Amino acid sequence: MNDYRCFTEIADVHTQILYELNNTTYYEVAKLALNLLPILLSRIKALEESQLYEVRVLLRSHSAFHLIKNDPLEFEKVKAAQAAADFLKV
């Protein structure tokens, strides 16, 4: 059985590790993660059909990114959400 963790849990762990190592901010880690998601999804398309199905189920099981007023990551969240939506259409 595969062990999947929420993207937010992974981001929280990476934030804590990176901050302790070199004072990287949550914003910088979140921006990097959101910018990498479209790239990762484009590479995941090359997986076998069964693995691709698992990734689609995982994406569908998580809610969309939450936007807040004056969100500094609004552009990145919109791009990542669009990439996820495009990935799910295939």
pLDDT, tens digit (0-9, with 9 covering 90-100), for 27-66: 888 888 888 888 888 888 777 777 888 888 888 888 777 7
Quick one: DSSP state of residue 73?
Answer: T
Q: Are 34 and 79 in contact (CB under 8 A)?
A: yes
Distance between CA atoms of residues 77 and 63, nearest Å? 12
Tallying the residues shown for the chain, one arrives at: 90
pLDDT confidence of residue 42:
83
Is the pTM value of this prediction over 0.75? no
pLDDT confidence of residue 90:
64
Q: Which tokens sit at 52?
A: 């691709």
Q: Are 84 and 56 in contact (CB under 8 A)?
A: no
pLDDT confidence of residue 10:
55
